[in-house]
Amino acid sequence: TGAVTYDPGFMNTAATTSAITYIDGDKGILRYRGYPIEELAAHSNFLEVSYLLIYGNLPTPAEYATFDQRIRRHTLLHEDLKGFFGGFPRDAHPMPVLSSAVSALSTFYQDSLDPFDDEQVELSTYRLLAKMPVIAAYALKKSLGQPMLYPDNSMNMVENFLRLSFGLPAEPFHMDPTVVKALDLLLILHADHEQNCSTSTVRLVGSSNANMFASVSAGINALFGPLHGGANEAVLNMLRQIQASGEPVEKFVERVKNKEAGVKLMGFGHRVYKNYDPRAKIVKETAHEILAKLGGNDELLDIAMRLEEVALTDEYFISRKLYPNVDFYTGLIYKAMGFPEKMFTVLFAIGRLPGWIAQWREMMKDPQTKIGRPRQLYTGEAERMYPSR
């Protein structure tokens, strides 16, 4: 009741309070639970960051060990769930495969669905953290027509995921420590970003008291869009198109500025960051180092760097405060690691998972939480009578 404010895209509307992630978009600051992203990127690891986001503090060594063990214990997927993957077409995009399989977790693990039972919430937290990377790797294997390996719980989450993604039963798997370290870092950078589109989706779905699997599955679908997580795949498509056309970078930028057929500079711009995206800064710094070690495609990196240079000195981008975002350079790194482009947004989803879980749990414990139910300004017909015929 009372006056309804109109705020399309929620440009200025806070839908919740939250103690998880702090962003200052003008200063380019990002902190998880108070810790600057630069510090976490330099000193922490993805598992520890997941704990931090979900429980609020860095774990003690004992807490870390328990958390790690619990997640390792839950990596196996129910055998019948594996049958799911056979139902999709061979060329299926792995994002809807991932969201479907995560949604299906509600049917296989019915003993952890109550959002108000602390033990069940803990169990679904471990299950999701353990099983989602496995589901993601199986979606990749399915698209390649390769056999799915069983997880090896002597490995940590990132190592296991890499082995399940690239390993083959016929030969020993070579774990490249450069890839492990780089992927871990990228997952940290994606782990939470306050009330972005997918996280708001997780909260909105969860606000009806839907279970954690159902809420996260909805978040995965929100992340799939090219304006959100799908941008990392779209950036690489854009770089490839520029490369294939032989068109100078300046000409492509002109087409973006003229808003030709909706051409955007993918990987640029952000709703909140209006100075720079601190995650993009870290990715750019490491991109050169990692690509040098992994032998990435130099020509695509050159095109990306040239695009950035041209855009950052162009009035169109300067006046609109458009800077490279986290998705601008990540695709090049994922590609150098050997992931096909369709997997890029799936990697984002694995990274964002602890953030979704932390936000969902925070909401369920918040006495202020109400079912999400936005209002509207009606623009349709006034009342009219059904004609007598």
Residues carrying an active site annotation: 270, 327
Torsion sign over Cα 297, 291, 233, 302: negative
How many other C-beta atoms are found inside a 10 Å radius of the C-beta of residue 254?
A: 16
Should residue 229 be labelled a site residue for ligand CMC when binding is judged by CB under 6 A? yes
Cβ neighbours for 94, distance < 8 A, ≥ 6 positions apart: 136, 139, 140, 142, 143, 342, 343, 346
- Which of 77-85, 104-112, 170-178, 228-236 is the region at the interface with ligand CMC (rule: CB under 6 A)? 228-236
Should residue 256 be labelled a site residue for ligand CMC when binding is judged by CB under 6 A? yes
* Residue with smaller CB distance to ligand CMC, 10 or 150: 10
Cα distance between residue 319 and residue 23, in whole Å: 22
Q: What are phi and psi of 295, to 5 degrees?
A: 70, 55
Paired with 24 in beta bridges are 29
- Which of 158-166, 221-229, 242-250, 352-360 is the region at the interface with ligand CMC (rule: CB under 6 A)? 221-229
* Residue with smaller CB distance to ligand CMC, 127 or 228: 228
How many amino acids of this chain bind ligand CMC (CB under 6 A)?
Answer: 20
Cβ neighbours for 89, distance < 8 A, ≥ 6 positions apart: none
* Residue with smaller CB distance to ligand CMC, 202 or 322: 322
Should residue 281 be labelled a site residue for ligand CMC when binding is judged by CB under 6 A? no
- Which of 34-42, 95-103, 224-232, 284-292 is the region at the interface with ligand CMC (rule: CB under 6 A)? 224-232
Instruction: Give the nearest distance from C-beta 316 to ligand CMC in angstroms.
Output: 7
Using CB under 6 A as the binding rule, the residues of this chain from 258 to 277 that contact ligand CMC are 264-271
Select the residue whose beta carbon is closest to ligand CMC and give its number.
269
Q: In Å, how far are 14, 198, 228, 338, 385 from 374, measured between CA atoms?
A: 12, 17, 21, 43, 29
* Residue with smaller CB distance to ligand CMC, 105 or 242: 242
Cα distance between residue 286 and residue 210, in whole Å: 39
Q: List the x/- string, 190-209, binding to ligand CMC by CB under 6 A.
A: ------x-------------
- Cβ contact 232:293 at 8 Å: no
CA angle 256, 260, 262 (to 5 degrees): 85
* Residue with smaller CB distance to ligand CMC, 73 or 255: 255
**Positions in the binding site for ligand CMC (CB under 6 A):** 9, 196, 227-229, 231, 256, 264-271, 320, 322, 325-327
